Amino acid sequence: MEIITIGNELLSGATINSNAAFLCRQLHQAGYVVDRVTVVGDSTAAILSSLIEAFARTDTVIATGGLGPTVDDVTRVAAAEYFRSDFAYNEQIAQLLIDRYGSKLSSIKDQATLPVKAQLFSNAIGTAQGLLFKEDERLLFLLPGVPSEMRHLAEDYVLPYLREQRPTAARSVRQVHLHNTFESAVDPVIRDLQKKYSSVAFGIYPYPGRVSVTLSGEAAEEVEACCEALASAFTGKVFESSDGTIEAAVHQRMIEKKLTLATAESCTGGAIASRLTAIAGASEYFVGSCVTYSNAMKERLLGVSAMTLQEKGAVSEETVREMLCGLLDVTQADCGIAVSGIAGPTGGSGEKPIGTVWAAVGMLGREPLVWLMKGPGTREMVIDYSVTRTLGELYYYLEK
């Protein structure tokens, strides 16, 4: 199976190829193997060439993009040429678009003129219909490039169709998510596990402050045993998450424990709060955030003493302790996070180089956890790592 993503915006770097990532992930979880992903521009000749090459290697192709009404949307033309299909005006689709968007929609004629050899997949949230060409053993799915529309059609039509018409052997897929762990520490463990569990396929996916490992195989019992062995090798670092992120894990834990949370952020500039509130339902536990970037705001909002800031500095154990204490007092939240550091690219010193970050997590009536971390790389990397690491420490703090 191959995927072709179409669009000049992908080749120019103006748009991230999220469609390919989504399709690969969904197909992998369904037990299908994607052998290749190709990116081509909005050119009939380039798309046609990519189809010819793809079908020389495989019998199933999913293509995204180029189905809209603008001059650069030529995917239907290329596919129709490959399958030698004429076009015809589809009255039913035209009426559907009129009912949904009104008769003044300028693209009705274009979007309702479709290849006669293609089966239609109704797009409930856009104007471009999904298309399926079938000839001999070859299947070509054409999906819109708009991510929300592509996902809708992939989940509602493409995957169910493949399961029915191109069933694959049942495949067990598990994931193990590791906090405050690096790829270099995971790799030797995986190599040892491969010797014992030879039928299990592994994928290691590193992110700032965490690593996710995907395990898959046809023998569910072996995948499960391998998963348990991997988790036991990293006791105290494994977290459960609906999407692999530590913020989703914290979200679930806060709701389960019926606790509230507030954050006091300096160098992260509200990034912790942003990560948490990006998840629907965060209002069940998240009460607010104080972005105390300056020393004056640390004093005024959180009650950090001027003496502490003068003698120890804003980036210190003492300061984040006082930030946390003031935060819990001001917000009356059950739990709190405080972070202060030097994200760079300027502001570092010999004693406190760029990447130096102090953080604290705590609860009312309980000794807080305070630690020093060294964020790697650029300003963005330091912030990203600090957010992930801090949320991970809170996750385990709540477990104790």
In order along its 400 residues, the chain shows pLDDT tens digits of 999 999 999 999 999 999 999 999 899 888 898 999 999 999 999 999 999 999 999 999 999 999 999 999 999 999 999 999 999 999 999 999 999 999 988 999 999 999 999 999 999 999 999 999 999 999 999 999 999 999 999 999 999 999 999 988 778 889 999 999 999 999 999 999 999 999 999 999 999 889 999 999 989 999 999 999 999 999 999 999 988 899 999 999 999 999 999 999 999 999 999 999 999 999 999 999 999 999 999 999 999 999 999 999 999 999 999 999 999 999 999 999 999 999 999 999 999 999 999 999 999 899 999 999 998 899 999 999 999 999 999 999 998 8
Q: What is the pLDDT of residue 246?
A: 97
Q: Do residues 4 and 40 lie in contact, with contact meaning Cβ atoms separated by under 8 Å?
A: yes
How far, in Å, are 30, 46, 291, 389 from residue 267 at the CA level?
41, 47, 9, 14
pLDDT at 219: 92
pLDDT at 169: 74
Output the CA angle 177-180-181, nearest 5 degrees: 70
Q: What are the backbone angles phi and psi of residue 357, rounded to the nearest 5°?
A: -140, 130
- CATH architecture of structural domain 2-165: 3-Layer(aba) Sandwich (3.40)
Q: 379-399 vs 246-257: helix axis angle to the nearest 10?
A: 30
Whether CATH 3.90.950.20 fits 246-399: yes
The class of domain 172-239 in CATH terms is: alpha beta
CA atoms within 13 A on the CB side of 381: 10
Q: What is the pLDDT of residue 28?
A: 86
- Give the model's pLDDT for residue 192: 97
**pLDDT score at 296:** 98
In this prediction, residue 170 carries a pLDDT of 75
Query: What's the pLDDT score for residue 272?
Result: 99
| Residue-wise DSSP of 247-266 | HHHHHHHHHHHT--EEEEES
Distance CA 381, CA 310 (A): 28
CA distance 56 to 267: 53
The domain ranges of the chain are 2-165, 172-239, 246-399
pTM score: 0.75
pLDDT for 1: 96
Helix, strand, coil content of the chain in percent (nearest 5): 45, 25, 35
Which pLDDT score, from 0 to 100, does residue 7 have? Answer: 97
